[in-house]
Amino acid sequence: MNLYEHTIIARQDTSPSEIKQLTEKYSGIIEKNDGEIVKTENWGLLNLSYLIKKNKKGSYIHFKFKGKGNVVNELEKNESIDKKLLRFLTVKVKKFDLETNFFSKKDDSEKKESPNN
């Protein structure tokens, strides 16, 4: 099985319940096609570098999963027709980085590191 990291960007006006539905929908597609989800991360609403379909922000959802090539084909086929999504990207990786949380609050980690505060 191959290892993949897959990120989708939903429209900025997508509600939290719709984000949850999108996560469940695409998790289901992965599992239906004999894929195994290792980790799902909701990165939240982030600024986009440039306007995409008249949106300045997007809600990011990131999946780390194991699967065969047909899983990626099925995912991208469904995502290309989904009107709630702005972009999607799949990257094949050699190893998952499960420890690093890139979009956690920086303040929390800084407070833990410095005992003088």
pTM summary value? 0.80
| Domains, the chain, ordered by start | 2-94+103-113 (3.30.70.60)
pLDDT tens-digit series, residues 61-93: 999 999 888 898 999 899 999 899 999 999 998
- Taking the C-alpha atoms of 12, 87, 77 and 79 in order, what is their torsion angle to the nearest 10 degrees? -10
pLDDT tens-digit series, residues 21-49: 999 999 999 999 988 999 898 888 899 99
Evaluate whether 37 touches 30 at the Cβ level (below 8 Å).
yes
Q: How far apart are CA 48 and CA 25, in angstroms?
A: 24
3 state DSSP class of 35: coil
- Whose tokens are 């939290």? That residue is 16
- Whose tokens are 């997508």? That residue is 14
